[in-house]
């Protein structure tokens, strides 16, 4: 991390001080090549070596095993994109390079969001290190509440659901089709609760220190088309690819083949960002890419891009759309969470082979699922669901202490965050 940060700090200064466009572009290319090269080495070296060995073995040439025991640096997928965005924004003249090395390195290594995001931009976070901050009790209190909500989502929802999904994934070959379909739903909710909980905790801790970190999830489970879902999901990553890859390729301005190409490149890269040690991530990305491309194409053709307004309760049409989008999101999640690509395919194969009309196992896990949906729905118009200052004091504090009690009661040591592997 220190090398990448130092490199982009110096390159940023050099780009800003140069009026030679060729030199500026060359410096930017150095930054991109070195950063992506380091990321590729740590994340993909063994995968490419194994692929080459297997390819030669298929034609009778035995190369032997030359993989390395590479330890993945913590948060490399996140801080690499963070430092890259800094140099790219300077090259685009969107921000000025900073001479304040302490603020810059603090921006890159800011601990709340270092391990699993959000992937911050220098234009948002860096100036906050350079300005004077006074303790704001109201802001810090809101941060503590967001941390509480994040902890509840992790311990009382994601980890509780995870107990059942682990059993299903480990023994899917002997499960009924109904249990496997139920497992897909649970896995979709688990991944959302697990990942978004970390973002809530990171943002909340940032507020405790007086920093405003960008929002990373905007209630994606209430999206009514898959394109809108990914505008609400892992916002910092998809916004990064949108601004630095999708728009330069032409975005949605180019139709037909070019639109298909642009969308598929973005989602293939997103899958590759998650890992190349298995084809499962790339397949997952391509499946989502096809869904988003089909949705955008239909919207452009029919000119239906209006945003649905949600009231106290969703209309039957809105509810059906939400369920449909959740299904589209949840099915490829099997590729994400299975140990390898073959297991993912085996899971789907078993759905069509096993008996369906059998009561699924672990229906008690519907309680944490319902809890998440209800609380999220009630808070969908707010930054996070614990913005309940308008509630009567005794009711509000009872709710806080109930969440805290459930966190302590259900905590059994827990499991690591799913996105820590990236």
Active site residue ranges: 274
CA angle 144–147–148, rounded 5-degree value: 90
In the Cβ-directed half-sphere of 308, how many Cα atoms lie within 13 Å?
17
User: Encoding tokens for residue 175?
Assistant: 């499960």
In the Cβ-directed half-sphere of 350, how many Cα atoms lie within 13 Å?
23
Distance CA 361, CA 167 (A): 10
202: nearest Cα among 420, 404, 374: 420
Distance CA 282, CA 278 (A): 8
In the Cβ-directed half-sphere of 392, how many Cα atoms lie within 13 Å?
2
Classify 332 as helix, strand or coil: coil
Q: 159-170 and 177-208 helices cross at what angle (nearest 10)?
A: 140
DSSP 153-222: IIIIIIHHHHHHHHHHHHTGGGS-HHHHHHHHHHHHHHHHHHHHHHHHHHHHHHHHTT--PPP----GGG
User: Encoding tokens for residue 149?
Assistant: 């909500």
Check if the beta carbon of residue 299 is closer than 8 Å to that of residue 305: yes
Q: Which residues lie closer than 8 Å to 406 by C-beta, 6 or more apart?
A: 152, 155, 156
User: Encoding tokens for residue 267?
Assistant: 């989602």
236: nearest Cα among 212, 206, 263, 216: 216
Check if the beta carbon of residue 392 is closer than 8 Å to that of residue 89: no
DSSP 123-169: HHHHHHHHS-----HHHHHHHHHHHHHHHHIIIIIIHHHHHHHHHHH
């Amino acid at each position: 991390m220190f090398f990448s940060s130092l490199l982009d700090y110096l390159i940023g200064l050099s780009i800003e001080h140069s009026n030679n466009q060729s030199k500026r572009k060359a410096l930017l290319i150095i930054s991109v090549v070195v950063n992506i090269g380091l990321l590729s080495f740590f994340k993909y070296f063994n995968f490419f070596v194994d692929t080459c060995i297997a390819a030669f073995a298929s034609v009778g040439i035995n190369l032997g095993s030359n993989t390395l025991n590479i330890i993945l640096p913590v948060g490399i997928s996140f801080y690499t994109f963070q430092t890259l965005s800094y140099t790219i924004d300077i090259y685009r003249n969107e921000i000025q390079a900073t001479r304040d090395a302490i603020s810059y390195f603090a921006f890159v290594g800011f601990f709340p969001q270092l391990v699993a995001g959000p992937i911050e931009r220098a234009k948002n976070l860096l100036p906050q290190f350079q300005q004077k901050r006074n303790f704001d009790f109201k802001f810090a209190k809101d941060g503590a509440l967001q941390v509480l909500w994040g902890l509840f989502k992790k311990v009382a929802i994601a980890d509780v659901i995870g107990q059942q999904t682990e059993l299903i994934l480990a023994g899917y070959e002997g499960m009924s089709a109904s249990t496997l379909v139920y497992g897909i739903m649970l896995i979709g909710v688990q991944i959302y609760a697990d990942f978004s909980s970390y973002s809530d905790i990171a943002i909340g801790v940032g507020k405790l220190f007086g920093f405003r970190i960008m929002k990373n999830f905007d209630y994606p489970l209430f999206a009514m088309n898959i394109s809108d879902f990914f505008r609400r999901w892992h916002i910092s990553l998809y916004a990064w690819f949108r601004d630095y890859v999708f728009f330069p390729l032409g975005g949605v301005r180019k139709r037909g083949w070019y639109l298909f190409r642009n969308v598929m490149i973005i989602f293939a890269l997103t899958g590759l960002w998650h890992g190349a040690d298995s084809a499962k991530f790339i397949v997952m990305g391509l499946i989502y890419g096809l869904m988003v491309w089909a949705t955008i194409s239909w919207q452009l053709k029919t000119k239906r891009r209006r945003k649905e307004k949600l009231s106290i309760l969703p209309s039957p049409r809105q509810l059906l759309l939400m369920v449909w989008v959740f299904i589209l999101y949840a099915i490829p999640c099997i590729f994400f969470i299975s140990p390898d690509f073959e297991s993912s395919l085996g899971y789907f194969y078993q759905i069509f082979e096993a008996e369906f009309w059998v009561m699924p196992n672990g229906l008690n896990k519907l309680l944490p699922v319902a809890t998440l949906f209800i609380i999220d729905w009630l808070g969908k118009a707010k930054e996070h669901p614990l913005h309940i200052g308008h509630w009567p004091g005794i009711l509000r504090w009872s709710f806080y202490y109930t969440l805290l009690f459930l966190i302590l009661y259900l905590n059994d040591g827990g499991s690591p965050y799913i996105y820590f592997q990236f």
